[in-house]
């Protein structure tokens, strides 16, 4: 069902097992909240930031995010975004999984999401059974994408966590960070591995990747992204992006 930004909407007040909506917005910040239903978010155009407890995610076009029931999250949209959001009852959510994940959306999954987003909320379950079964199968087979960044929670690294933003200032290299916070490089590396599961260098590279994806989704040119993220050249940025995703920046964004 189509709704606009001003319409009051709470999927938990709707008894249907599947509640789909189609929305187009300019700027939107959902605030921290959670649902009794599992939620699938999909953006056919534009880009979203998803804020979770201790994690940040970027959801570019033609990818979908699965947020299980009860997970506190915040969705921020800063450009024109047409998105689809589909909510599933707890019994259906269990079939999809109990962990947050982002997956690539193929043509079949895209068509299913688009169709379910426009379903009447009182549609009889017998009319949806086959489509739902196919949707669950496609979701379970969809290729996962690592578009999350786990944030450190150590007090000395608080500024890195609080200042996180894909279009913000690039985190310093390890030696500069050590000078900034008055800790040795070995101490910082140990903290990052314990709290994020990654070395600081790998964490910084993941930050750059998510920043690049968001900037490209906002239609920044490749040379502008390369400059903003401190790559030595456009070709160095393209090489980095291909190493991380298997695709050139433009191929990735255009699906």
Domains of the chain: 11-141 (2.60.120.280), 152-254 (1.10.10.60)
In this structure, are residues 117 and 86 in contact, taking their beta carbons and an 8 Å threshold? yes
- The residue-averaged pLDDT of 158-174 equals 73
CA distance 190 to 181: 15
- The residue-averaged pLDDT of 38-57 equals 89
Residue 7 pLDDT > 80, yes or no? no
pLDDT of residue 134: 95
Q: How much helix, strand and coil, in percent to the nearest 5, is found in the chain? A: 40, 20, 35
| 167 — pLDDT class (breaks 50, 70, 90) | low
CA distance 137 to 130: 11
- The residue-averaged pLDDT of 234-245 equals 96
pLDDT of residue 177: 92
For residue 109, give the nearest of 178, 57, 63 by alpha carbon: 63
Percent of the chain scoring above 90 in pLDDT: 64
Q: Name beta bridge partners: 49.
A: 58, 76
In this structure, are residues 54 and 30 in contact, taking their beta carbons and an 8 Å threshold? no
Highest mean pLDDT among 21-35, 132-146, 207-221: 132-146
Residue 158 pLDDT > 90, yes or no? no
pLDDT tens digits, 194-237: 999 999 999 999 999 999 998 998 889 999 999 999 999 999 99
pLDDT of residue 89: 94
In this structure, are residues 56 and 88 in contact, taking their beta carbons and an 8 Å threshold? no
- Chain mean pLDDT for the chain: 89
pLDDT of residue 126: 62
pLDDT of residue 162: 65
pLDDT of residue 160: 77
For residue 69, give the nearest of 98, 42, 49 by alpha carbon: 98
CA distance 247 to 255: 10
Cα 163 vs. chain centroid, distance in angstroms?
18
SS3 category, 114: helix
- The residue-averaged pLDDT of 103-113 equals 95
Phi, then psi, of 201 in degrees rounded to 5: -60, -45
The better pLDDT of the pair 108, 15 is held by 108
Give the DSSP letter of residue 12.
Answer: G
In this structure, are residues 225 and 237 in contact, taking their beta carbons and an 8 Å threshold? yes
CA distance 162 to 52: 13
| 166 — pLDDT class (breaks 50, 70, 90) | low
Give the E-state strand segments of the chain in sequence order: 18-25, 28-29, 38-45, 48-52, 55-59, 63-67, 73-77, 81-88, 101-104, 148-150
CA distance 10 to 5: 13
For helices 129-141 and 107-117, give the axis angle rounded to 10 degrees.
140
Buried b (16+ CB within 10 A) or exposed e, 187-213: ebbebbeebbebebeebbebbbbbbbb
């Amino acid at each position: 069902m189509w709704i606009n930004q001003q319409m009051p909407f709470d999927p938990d007040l709707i008894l249907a097992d599947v509640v789909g909506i189609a929305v187009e917005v300019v700027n939107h910040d959902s605030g921290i909240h959670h649902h009794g239903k599992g939620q699938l978010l999909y953006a056919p155009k534009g880009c979203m930031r998803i804020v979770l407890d201790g994690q940040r995610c970027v959801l570019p076009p033609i990818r979908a995010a699965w947020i299980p029931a009860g997970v506190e999250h915040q969705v921020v949209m800063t450009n024109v975004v047409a998105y689809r959001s589909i909510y599933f009852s707890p019994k259906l959510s269990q079939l999809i999984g109990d962990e947050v994940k982002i997956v690539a959306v193929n043509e079949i999954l895209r068509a299913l999401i688009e169709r379910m987003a426009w379903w009447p909320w009182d549609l009889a379950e017998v009319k949806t059974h086959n489509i739902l079964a196919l949707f669950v199968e496609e979701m379970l087979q969809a290729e996962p994408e690592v578009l999350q960044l786990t944030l450190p929670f150590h007090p000395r690294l608080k500024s890195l966590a609080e200042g996180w933003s894909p279009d913000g200032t690039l985190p310093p290299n390890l030696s500069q960070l050590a000078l900034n916070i008055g800790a040795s490089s070995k101490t910082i590396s140990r903290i990052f591995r314990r709290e994020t599961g990654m070395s600081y260098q790998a964490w910084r590279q993941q930050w750059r990747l998510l920043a690049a994806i968001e900037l490209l989704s906002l239609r920044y040119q490749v040379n502008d992204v390369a400059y903003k993220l401190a790559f030595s050249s456009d070709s160095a940025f393209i090489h980095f992006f291909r190493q991380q995703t298997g695709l050139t920046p433009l191929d990735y964004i255009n699906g």
